[in-house]
Amino acid sequence: MPRASVADTLRAVNLVLLPLVARGLIVRRPPLVAGAEKLQLDRTAVRELQRLRRIYGPGPLRLALPRAVALILDPEDAKRVLAESPEPFRADSLEKRHALGHFQPYGVLASSGVPRDDRRAYNEQVLDTPAPVHCLADELLGKVVDEADTLLAVSEATGRLTWDDFMRHWFRMVRRVVFGDHAADDEEVTDLSGALRADGNWSYLKPKSRRKFERFEARLLHHLAKAEPGSLAGLMAQTPASPITVPHMQVPQWLFAFDPAGIATWRALVLLEGHPRQMERAVSEVADVDLRRPHELEFARACVLESLRLWPTTPGILRDTTEDTEWSTGTLPAGHGVVLFAPYLHRDDERLAFADRFEPSLWTGDHDPDAFPLVPFSAGPVVCPGRNLVLLLTSAMLGRLVQHHEYRLPARRHLDATEPMPAIYDPFRVTFAMRRRA
């Protein structure tokens, strides 16, 4: 199996792996995201992987590092790795186990073998994984619309929709969805989750904070004990669990993962602001829809999916091999790290005509989703079990934001539909001018 030279390994580490880790694998570090945007680092990373593919061929490429790691360069190989997870490609890779150990040591993503199967089944039941419209949609959508409306009232008064206001109401919605309305104001549980995730960014380089973790766990148990009807906590109380499930330790992943869902919704609004035709379509989709009632907004969902394709919130999908695996170019030994770099799979302009365009039609049934691996939610047996729930809530939020209001961005944050979309778009420094539509 091809192995990169020391010089090429150093380039791959500097241009692909280090920027990925520096921005924060578990929680984004805003100053570094701003720097990454300025330098458009993901464009450089994609170019570097294209260069390596030209030199070494499309098979997995081993790097000359003390920690055995291989880069996946071929879309078919990416599909294989995801389809054959978690055996022989285990999802709880070494780095991930250490990173997640800071705040969810018994979460499904940090598990393998029998505990993984048990916890995965539990997650799927509560998140109602296969259903495009979650079984609690009636209750959950009301919470989304409530929070969107309060946010819009605040923004209308000032004529500005800011990132901070958006995220404040986003996380209120998340706490109401996960724990119930009684937890709407508990910012501490969100802050603790954020602080533990920031520790997780350092993986095994940072000691675990027992005090913070215990405080976080106590808040979780306090809220879950109420089992409020119409929330995921209420559903958890009715869902059978075994002694190895550790139900409350599945929740940190949900809180964690609603953060990128907010980022994806926000960037979808940025995309629509820059693409008037698509904005018109998004507005007309919700014109006569009561967003509090269960619905499937196909176009709004496609816009969120496009936001995630252009700027994946999980840019690195990591695996470790549990046994030797055979490839057309040779054998990859057991214990090897495997890295799928989502921006390369989604935006390889040598392979994909749409790489740098905003193209919601990729997700609306006009295209064959199996033709190329677009994997914002991963794929295969480890695919995000929250995918449908996320798309329900994010599309409802996006739908509500555009239903009666219009938005403008200043030129420096505006995306021009006639230009290629940037490789990185920093969501944190965005403020929309907004008003109620005439």
Note the residues at the interface with ligand HEM (CB under 6 A): 91, 108-109, 120, 123, 127, 253-254, 257-258, 260-261, 264, 308, 313-314, 317, 376-378, 382, 384-386, 389-390
Q: Nearest distance from residue 398's CB to ligand HEM, in Å? A: 12
Tokens of 233: 């906590």
> HSE on the CB side for 113, CA within 13 Å?
3
Q: Is 159 helix (H, G, I), strand (E, B) or coil?
A: coil
Q: Which is nearer to ligand HEM, 46 or 109 (CB)?
A: 109
Dihedral angle sign, alpha carbons of residues 59, 63, 69, 75: negative
* Rounded Cα distance, 96 and 92, in Å: 6
* Rounded Cα distance, 82 and 73, in Å: 14
Q: Which is nearer to ligand HEM, 4 or 180 (CB)?
A: 180
Selection from 402, 431, 386 nearest residue 166 by Cα: 431
Q: Nearest distance from residue 376's CB to ligand HEM, in Å? A: 5
Residue type, 384: C
Residues listed for the chain:
438
Q: Nearest distance from residue 379's CB to ligand HEM, in Å? A: 7
Q: Nearest distance from residue 318's CB to ligand HEM, in Å? A: 7
Q: Which is nearer to ligand HEM, 9 or 93 (CB)?
A: 93
Helix axes 298-310 and 387-403, enclosed angle (nearest 10):
110
Q: Nearest distance from residue 211's CB to ligand HEM, in Å? A: 26
Q: Which is nearer to ligand HEM, 59 or 386 (CB)?
A: 386
Q: Which is nearer to ligand HEM, 110 or 402 (CB)?
A: 110
Tokens of 197: 């995730």
Q: Nearest distance from residue 422's CB to ligand HEM, in Å? A: 19
Q: Which is nearer to ligand HEM, 49 or 392 (CB)?
A: 392
* Rounded Cα distance, 215 and 133, in Å: 34
**CB-count exposure of residue 164 (10 Å: 0-12, 13-18, 19+):** exposed
Q: Which is nearer to ligand HEM, 178 or 434 (CB)?
A: 178
Dihedral angle sign, alpha carbons of residues 310, 346, 342, 366: positive
Q: Which is nearer to ligand HEM, 4 or 127 (CB)?
A: 127
Find the residue with minimal CB distance to ligand HEM: 386
Q: Which is nearer to ligand HEM, 4 or 192 (CB)?
A: 192
Q: Nearest distance from residue 385's CB to ligand HEM, in Å? A: 5
DSSP per-residue codes, 240-297: ---TTT-GGGGHHHHHHHHHHHHHHHHHHHHHHHH-HHHHHHHHHHHTT--TTS----
* Rounded Cα distance, 365 and 357, in Å: 18
Q: Which is nearer to ligand HEM, 244 or 417 (CB)?
A: 244
Tokens of 219: 């808040």
- Angle (nearest 5°) at CA 116 between 114 and 117: 65
Q: Nearest distance from residue 386's CB to ligand HEM, in Å? A: 3
Q: Nearest distance from residue 64's CB to ligand HEM, in Å? A: 25
Q: Nearest distance from residue 265's CB to ligand HEM, in Å? A: 8
Q: Which is nearer to ligand HEM, 106 or 258 (CB)?
A: 258
Q: Nearest distance from residue 127's CB to ligand HEM, in Å? A: 6
Q: Nearest distance from residue 227's CB to ligand HEM, in Å? A: 17
Q: Which is nearer to ligand HEM, 257 or 282 (CB)?
A: 257
Q: Is 330 helix (H, G, I), strand (E, B) or coil?
A: strand
Strand partners, 431: 162
Q: How far apart are the first and last CA of the chain?
A: 63
Selection from 342, 317, 338, 28 nearest residue 200 by Cα: 28
Residue type, 255: L
Report the number of secondary-structure helices (H) and strands (E) in the chain.
17, 10
